[in-house]
Amino acid sequence: MIEIEGLQKTFSAGDNPTAALKDVSLSIKQGEIFGIIGRSGAGKSTLVRCINLLERPSAGRISVNGREISSLSGAALREARREIGMIFQHFNLLSSRTVFDNVAFPLELAGRSKAEIAREVTPLLDLVGLTDKRDRYPSELSGGQKQRVGIARALASKPAVLLCDEATSALDPETTKSILALLRDINRKLGLTIVLITHEMPVIKEICDRVAVLDQGSVVEQGTVFEIFTAPQAEITRRFVSDVIDRPLPSMLIERLQATPLTQGNVVLRIVFTGPTANSPIISEVVQRYGVLLNILQGNVEYIQGAPYGNIVVEAVGQPQAVQEVIDHIRDNNLRVEVLGHVADAHRAVA
């Protein structure tokens, strides 16, 4: 659907050229919601501006819907742009126009008749849930309602792709959820391909199918959202992911935790369950088989793309040999297990 190959964009302002995009290659499929995450300055906006032809690439190729767009101009350029809808962080509505007239604007520009426009705009307002606000002005709307107008306006040209640049970054968390749900709904109902740019990992987790991580103008990692969340490779990806799903260890535990084994001590383990194995009764299994007690110190199960991702921290109480067998058994079942450290056995210490 969107093929980007060796894309580079260098801004040459004065003596210091900025390489905003160094070498970006991506392949976005028809009908998916593709996320692009990166810190501020990573090159995200430059990338979308290249896709919607507001910027010319310095090198590389971009094709949308089978058409190479990086070299178009004139009427062909305008035609190609119509295929690409866009929504923005600050909505970019026309303040002197009503909701209806904002959504109608691209159709007026395309020279459509009043009757045609009414026929197209009415169902769009219904789709985004703004039928009762059709005659209101942007200043009378909440942020979420303004973004709904932005979405309806973008859809008016019947684009093949919707580009969203930080479209929920100005919204509170609850409104963000409702806008993301609307985008998901539109993606399913219309089969619309969505490219979603954000610096917020929860946004990616909420609705994206696949994601690419952009850092300093390069794609450092990409994969399904489940893969990226459960097995992040690049350091920056790990940081993005851990902001969302890793709970910090309780401070009481951190204070007790030591790096080396203690003679009268227990091992603290983190066990990570992914996908279907998250439901398997592994804990009760090892307790029965090896006679090791597992005290749960912390536990959390997230659902990513509908699949469970569990993360528990346990204190394993038992003979060192038996504890090692437990670790091996868990690994043999393809779960991740990591020794976080050692703690003195509270009960033995008291006794």
Ligand X SMILES: Nc1ncnc2c1ncn2[C@@H]1O[C@H](COP(=O)(O)OP(=O)(O)O)[C@@H](O)[C@H]1O
Residues that bind ligand X (CB under 6 A): 11, 13, 18, 20, 38, 40-46
| Interacting residues with Mg ion (CB under 5 A) | 44-45
> At closest approach, how far in Å is the CB of 54 from ligand X?
10
Closest residue to Mg ion in the complex (CB):
45
Q: Which is nearer to Mg ion, 45 or 70 (CB)?
A: 45
DSSP letters, 42-59, are SSHHHHHHHHTTSS--SE
Instruction: Answer with the entry of Mg ion, ligand X, none that 40 interacts with (C-beta below 5 to 8 A by kind).
Output: ligand X
Angle at alpha carbon of residue 279, lines to 274 and 281, rounded to 5°: 115
Angle at 107 between CA 101 and CA 111, to 5 degrees: 120
Q: Smallest distance from the beta carbon of 13 to ligand X, in angstroms? A: 5
Token look-up 């990616």 returns 204
Min dist CB 339 to ligand X, Å, is: 38
At its nearest, how many Å lie between Mg ion and the CB of residue 68? 25
Which residues touch 158 (CB under 8 Å, ≥6 apart)?
Answer: none
Q: Which does 20 bind (CB under 5 to 8 A by kind): Mg ion, ligand X, none?
A: ligand X
Residue 303 binds: one of ligand X, Mg ion, none (C-beta under 5 to 8 A by kind): none
> Nearer Cβ to ligand X, position 26 or 186?
26
Question: Would you put residue 92 in left (φ > 0), alpha (ψ -120 to 50) or beta?
Answer: left
Cβ proximity to ligand X: between 8 and 298 the closer is 8
How far apart are the C-alpha atoms of 52 and 112, rounded to whole Å?
Answer: 23
With CB under 5 to 8 Å by kind, the binding choice for 41 among ligand X, Mg ion, none is ligand X
Cβ atoms of 155 and 186 closer than 8 Å: yes
The closest alpha carbon to 169, from 210, 204, 221, belongs to 204
> What's the full length of the chain, in residues?
351
Least distance in angstroms from the C-beta of 220 to Mg ion? 17
- Specify burial of residue 46 (Cβ count, 10 A radius: 0-12, 13-18, 19+): buried
Give the Cβ contact number of residue 350 at 10 Å: 6
In this structure, are residues 36 and 197 in contact, taking their beta carbons and an 8 Å threshold? Answer: yes
Beta carbon nearer to Mg ion, 13 or 259: 13
Q: Which does 11 bind (CB under 5 to 8 A by kind): ligand X, Mg ion, none?
A: ligand X
CB 224, min distance to ligand X, A = 22
Residue 351's binding partner among ligand X, Mg ion, none (Cβ under 5 to 8 angstroms by kind) is none
User: Which of 166, 206 has the CB closer to ligand X?
Assistant: 166
> Which residue, 44 or 153, has its beta carbon nearer to Mg ion?
44
Q: Which does 60 bind (CB under 5 to 8 A by kind): Mg ion, ligand X, none?
A: none
> DSSP of 243-305, one letter per residue?
HHHPPPPPHHHHHH-BSS--TTEEEEEEEEEEGGGGGS-HHHHHHHHH--EEEEEEEEEEEET
Cβ of residue 21: shortest distance to ligand X, in angstroms? 8
The residue (of 44 and 205) whose beta carbon lies closer to Mg ion is: 44
